[in-house]
Amino acid sequence: MTTAPAITRFAPSPTGRLHVGNIRTALHNWMLARRNGGTFILRIDDTDAARSLEEYVDAIRMDLVWLGLDWDQEERQSARLDRYEAAFAALKAAGRIYPCYETAQELDVKRKIALGRGLPPIYDRGSLKLTDAERAAKEGEGVAPHWRFLLDHAEPIVWEDGIRGTQKFDAAQLSDPVIRRADGSWLYMMPSAVDDIDMGVTQVLRGEDHVSNTAVQIQIFTALYAAGFAATGSAAKTLPEFAHEALLVGREGKLSKRLGSLGCDAFRERGIEPEAIISLLARLGTSQPVEPVADRAALVESFDLSTFGRAPAKFDEKDLERLNAGIVHQLPFEAVASRLPKGMDAAGWHAVRPNLAHVGEAVDWWRLVTGPIDQPEFSKDDKEFLAEAARLLVWGENPWAALTTALKEATGRKGKPLFLPLRQALTGMDHGPDMGELLPLIGEQEARARLAKAIA
Ligand code: GLU
């Protein structure tokens, strides 16, 4: 990998919300850029005007902000149509684009025939073979052409993939891709390459479902450069480095519909912290340990494509819950203050934090401090013990340590018989946050009232 500042991009199509799969792609591109002071571009791939919605563009931005994935530059394909026209003209002049007249049905029949013969369904270049007269006849009938990019079968396609190693493709085994529809609108393939050139993208990191697109785009890149199309002011006619990560699958081994649609809203509703998602997705499918890392700089520092495996990365929601608890236990008061119950201060947060799997549960434990609490019925023995506690309670520096030490001495109780009735009387619970931290928060007056109630 290069050491020059990376320019990476995350290029979602605004035809839906982000889901774990593309959150992961966004994160990895962000880390790649942040690791060496590079630039992270958010590129909205909205050439599909019919399916692209502005509300999804907003939702994508909001999700990235919530995840803490800030971008340095934002681009929109719909604002760059003149560049695609220019690229199209350059490729056409160079003979690398040709008009096609087949209908969708005709193409479908061709595909089925090929498959029926046990052949790969590669486009047969039927339209390329038309004579000028045949082409003129089609146009005369009013058939508007769609356009394909002419792959060069003689040009080997080879790249060193940052994750998959050396990749080789035989262009003859690929269909010439349709790059423009008959209505003039653009398909994904060429605009994406044009953008990567214009924006000086140095690393393209995306899912392995794009591997064959990369093979085609490498030829589009070289054809564009050969046709004299280059970014304004950019002298380097280089190709980005490519890396394709193994896909994300559920525990059952494939990307289920549920997992495929799981996004930030669902996570937020379930009380999952962005840092838990980041911790999981940063290292899932790599040889690095998946741990709750609240320090994002540390995650960025450790990001390394060479640790990525080629096996599908298994996304398990149990891992996410485990990481979430681990993250919550590290969150400082300032990070959660606005989400805590009224009156809960830094000491309160510190006391309850180790008991939480989600920040939202703080309110349940905080009730033990504010009351009212439900105490169990105590035995005669325990009532005597609690009466002794009420007598020995001295409000000093560390009332809990002082009380339990004094009680131990006075009653000879230790372990559970010493601590449990006290916890039950003071909080109404058998377990919970550390009493040493909780008791000062309950306060002397309330603690005395609770003990009095327990022995009444
Ligand atoms: N809009 C494309 C997608 O969401 C971008 C693919 C790419 O990274 O080039 O799949």
Q: 7, 57, 206: which to mutate for ligand 1, most atoms within 8 A of CB?
A: 206
The amino acid present at 190, given as its one-letter code, is: M
Q: Last residue of a domain, which of 343, 369, 395? A: 369
Assess if residue 168 is contained within a domain: no
Backbone angles phi, psi at 160, to 5 degrees: -95, 100
pLDDT of residue 449: 97
Tokens of 224: 């564009």
CATH number of the domain residue 450 falls in: 1.10.10.350
Distance 196 CA to ligand 1 centre (A): 12
Query: How many structural domains comprise the chain?
Result: 2
| Residues near 102 by beta carbon (within 8 Å), at least 6 away in sequence | 110, 126, 127
Distance 204 CA to ligand 1 centre (A): 10
The answer on 420 and 346 residing in a single domain is no
User: Nearest to residue 369, comparing CAs of 357, 352, 381, 386?
Assistant: 352
The amino acid present at 363, given as its one-letter code, is: V
Could you give the 3-state DSSP secondary structure of residue 39?
strand
12 Cβ inside 6 Å of ligand 1: yes
The answer on 387 and 448 residing in a single domain is yes
Could you give the 3-state DSSP secondary structure of residue 75?
strand
Q: 15, 192, 201: which to mutate for ligand 1, most atoms within 8 A of CB?
A: 192
Residue ranges with strand state E in 25-150: 39-44, 73-76, 97-100, 146-149
Minimal-distance CA residue to ligand 1 atom 7? 11
The answer on 350 and 388 residing in a single domain is no
pLDDT in tens, the chain (456 residues): 447 899 999 999 999 999 999 999 999 999 999 999 999 999 999 999 899 999 999 999 999 999 999 999 999 999 999 999 999 999 999 999 999 999 999 999 999 999 999 999 999 999 999 999 999 999 999 999 999 999 999 999 999 999 999 999 999 999 999 999 999 999 999 999 999 999 999 999 999 999 999 999 999 999 999 999 976 655 567 899 999 999 999 877 776 677 777 899 999 999 999 999 999 999 999 999 999 999 999 999 999 999 999 999 999 999 999 999 999 999 999 999 999 999 999 999 999 999 999 999 999 999 999 999 999 999 999 999 999 999 999 999 999 999 999 999 999 999 999 999 999 999 999 999 999 999 999 999 999 999 999 999
The answer on 379 and 362 residing in a single domain is no
Distance in angstroms (rounded) separating the CA atoms of residues 24 and 63 = 12
Distance in angstroms (rounded) separating the CA atoms of residues 455 and 425 = 9
Assess if residue 409 is contained within a domain: yes
The answer on 411 and 348 residing in a single domain is no
Q: What does pTM read for this prediction?
A: 0.92
The answer on 359 and 417 residing in a single domain is no
43 Cβ inside 6 Å of ligand 1: no
The answer on 375 and 357 residing in a single domain is no
pLDDT of residue 210: 97
Assess if residue 391 is contained within a domain: yes
Burial bucket for residue 411 (CB in 10 Å: 0-12, 13-18, 19+): middle
206 Cβ inside 6 Å of ligand 1: yes
The answer on 352 and 376 residing in a single domain is no
How many angstroms separate the Cα of 89 from the Cα of each of 98, 230, 279, 356? 11, 13, 45, 61
Domain residue limits at 412: 371-455
Distance in angstroms (rounded) separating the CA atoms of residues 212 and 332 = 46
370 Cβ inside 6 Å of ligand 1: no
Residue ranges with strand state E in 27-156: 39-44, 73-76, 97-100, 146-149
Assess if residue 22 is contained within a domain: no
Assess if residue 32 is contained within a domain: no
Atom index in ligand 1 nearest the CA of residue 13 equals 1
The answer on 449 and 378 residing in a single domain is yes
Assess if residue 435 is contained within a domain: yes
The answer on 392 and 346 residing in a single domain is no
The answer on 401 and 346 residing in a single domain is no
Assess if residue 229 is contained within a domain: no
Distance 189 CA to ligand 1 centre (A): 9
Assess if residue 377 is contained within a domain: yes
How many angstroms separate the Cα of 430 from the Cα of each of 368, 417, 422, 424? 12, 12, 9, 6
CA quadruple 360, 362, 368, 370: dihedral sign: negative
The answer on 427 and 378 residing in a single domain is yes
Question: What is the residue whose two structure tokens read 């530059």?
Answer: 73
Backbone angles phi, psi at 311, to 5 degrees: -80, 150
